[in-house]
């Protein structure tokens, strides 16, 4: 029996191994036949011989499978050496797994919360028309607000959207007049970059239109989303602010989740206890009418905030430019 083991050990190729299998382990192989022959033995010898034979077959089988795995690995490695094609289905060797980008994580969290509140999540285009980005949100061509949001123009007259508000018209036309939706997306602005400004960044916008929608609903929705994101009660305060597409319009702040609004020694809110998040307000009647919504019957609110800024706060990132840098060292250092 030692001969069988020795024979197996000397095998160097997969075809030789297949012959070995046929000779010993297949249905007609010697070991299988010997086991089948047990039935002709005397009963008193059968038990002992059967035990030894089964043990041997099991041992040979284990060695056979080990040999098979080793020969397969050797064959694959040899093939890979000759053939530069890479099999991307083979798990990486000695490499750490990738992980989700902070922007993806924060976007998923917000959309999950808003979905649970009944909001549609709409995926918007990055290339939009001048009408969608500006005119449809009450920023006609001679409006000074256009200068504040210069962007990248395409040769076909379209542009890279400067704000998620560019989606409002399309969503109202498609799903209105009664609709609750959020629409996160990448925005672009032609501006000098610094630690807080990028030319490509993410915003998230929310909108609720229907009958009897009020500022109280707006505050409640903002408060609920933020409290869910931070896992604690967050207060929201509105300050008068101007955005051409809302009337009245506000800037809104959240009580700082990192110092619980106390401001004490907090370098996130710089001691104020509040964090500026974005703009909001009741959607301007011109915006509703331009989307075919009767502003006498329906009204609603819209809010927008910087997803990028939210991610920076959440993951203690002090320079926005790191997020687009593709720097693996930075990404690995983030505590998710
Ligand atoms: C707007 O873009 C409005 N559309 C928001 C809005 C929506 C108001 C609905 C009213 C109703 P603003 O330009 O302030 O507003 O931008 C909103 C947020 O986007 C900012 O608070 C900031 O967090 C983020 N943001 C703006 N520009 C940049 C930039 N260059 N880099 C990174 N984040 C930016």
Task: State if pTM tops 0.85.
Answer: no
Residue 130 lies in a domain: yes
Residue 89 lies in a domain: no
The reply to whether ligand 1 has any atom less than 6 angstroms from the CB of 168 is no
Are 75 and 114 in the same domain?
no
Residue 79 is predicted with a pLDDT of 83
Distance CA 210, CA 300 (A): 6
Are 180 and 33 in the same domain?
no
- Report the nearest-CA residue for atom 28 of ligand 1: 197
pLDDT grade for 147, boundaries at 50, 70 and 90 = confident
Q: Which of 21, 47, 82 is the last residue of a domain?
A: 82
Distance CA 179, CA 175 (A): 6
Residue 23 is predicted with a pLDDT of 95
Q: SS3 breakdown of the chain: % helix, strand, coil, rounded to 5?
A: 45, 20, 35
CATH code, domain with 299: 3.30.930.10
Residue 1 is predicted with a pLDDT of 66
Which residues form the domain of 237? 102-332
The reply to whether ligand 1 has any atom less than 6 angstroms from the CB of 151 is no
Token pair 């004490």 is found at: 264
Are 132 and 257 in the same domain?
yes
The reply to whether ligand 1 has any atom less than 6 angstroms from the CB of 244 is no
Are 153 and 30 in the same domain?
no
Selection from 216, 189, 224, 213 nearest residue 306 by Cα: 189
Are 132 and 180 in the same domain?
yes
Work out which ligand 1 atom sits closest to the CA atom of 277: 21
In angstroms, the Cα distances linking 131 to 245, 290, 336 are 13, 10, 39
Q: Residue 265 above 90 pLDDT?
A: yes
Q: Residue 271 above 80 pLDDT?
A: yes
Residue 175 lies in a domain: yes
Are 302 and 197 in the same domain?
yes
Q: CB–CB of 148/187 below 8 Å?
A: no
Strand partners, 191: none
Q: CB–CB of 221/302 below 8 Å?
A: no
- Report the nearest-CA residue for atom 30 of ligand 1: 197
Provide mean pLDDT across the span 182-197.
94
The half-sphere exposure of 180 on its side-chain side, counting CA atoms within 13 A, is: 12
Residue 74 lies in a domain: yes
Residue 176 is predicted with a pLDDT of 87
Residue 45 is predicted with a pLDDT of 87
Distance CA 83, CA 319 (A): 43
Residue 70 lies in a domain: yes
Residue 90 lies in a domain: no
Are 44 and 128 in the same domain?
no
**Overall domain count for the chain:** 2
Are 191 and 253 in the same domain?
yes
Percent of the chain whose pLDDT exceeds 90: 80
Are 17 and 117 in the same domain?
no
The pLDDT tens digits of the residues spanning 226-253 come to 999 999 999 999 999 999 999 999 999 9
């Amino acid at each position: 029996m030692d001969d069988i083991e020795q024979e197996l050990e000397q095998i160097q190729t997969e075809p030789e191994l297949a012959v070995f299998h046929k000779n010993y382990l297949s249905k007609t192989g010697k070991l299988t036949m010997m086991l089948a022959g047990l039935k002709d033995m005397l009963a008193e010898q059968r038990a002992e011989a059967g035990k030894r034979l089964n043990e041997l077959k099991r041992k040979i089988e284990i060695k056979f499978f080990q040999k098979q795995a080793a020969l397969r690995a050797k064959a694959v490695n040899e093939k890979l050496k000759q053939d530069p094609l890479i099999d991307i289905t083979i798990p990486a060797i000695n490499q750490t797994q990738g992980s989700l980008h902070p922007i993806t994580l924060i976007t998923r969290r917000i959309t999950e919360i808003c979905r649970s509140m009944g909001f549609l999540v709409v995926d918007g285009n990055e290339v939009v028309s001048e009408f969608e980005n500006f005119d449809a949100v009450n920023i006609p061509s001679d409006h000074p607000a256009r200068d504040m949001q210069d962007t990248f123009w395409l040769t076909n007259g379209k542009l890279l959207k400067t704000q998620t508000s560019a989606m409002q018209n399309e969503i109202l036309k498609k799903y209105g007049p009664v609709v609750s939706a959020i629409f996160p997306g990448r925005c672009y602005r032609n501006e000098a970059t610094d630690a807080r400004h990028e030319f490509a960044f993410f915003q998230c916008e929310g909108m609720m239109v229907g009958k009897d929608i009020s500022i109280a609903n707006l505050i409640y929705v903002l408060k609920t989303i933020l409290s869910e994101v931070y896992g604690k009660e967050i207060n929201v305060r509105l300050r008068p602010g101007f955005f051409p597409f809302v009337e009245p319009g506000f800037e809104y702040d959240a009580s700082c989740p990192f110092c619980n609004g106390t401001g004490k020694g907090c370098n996130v809110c710089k001691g104020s206890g509040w964090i500026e998040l974005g703009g909001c307000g009741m959607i301007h009647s011109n915006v509703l009418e331009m989307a075919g919504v009767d502003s006498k019957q329906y009204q609603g609110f819209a809010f927008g905030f910087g997803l990028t800024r939210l991610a920076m706060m959440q993951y203690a990132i002090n320079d926005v430019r790191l997020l687009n840098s593709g720097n693996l060292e930075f990404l690995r250092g983030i505590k998710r």
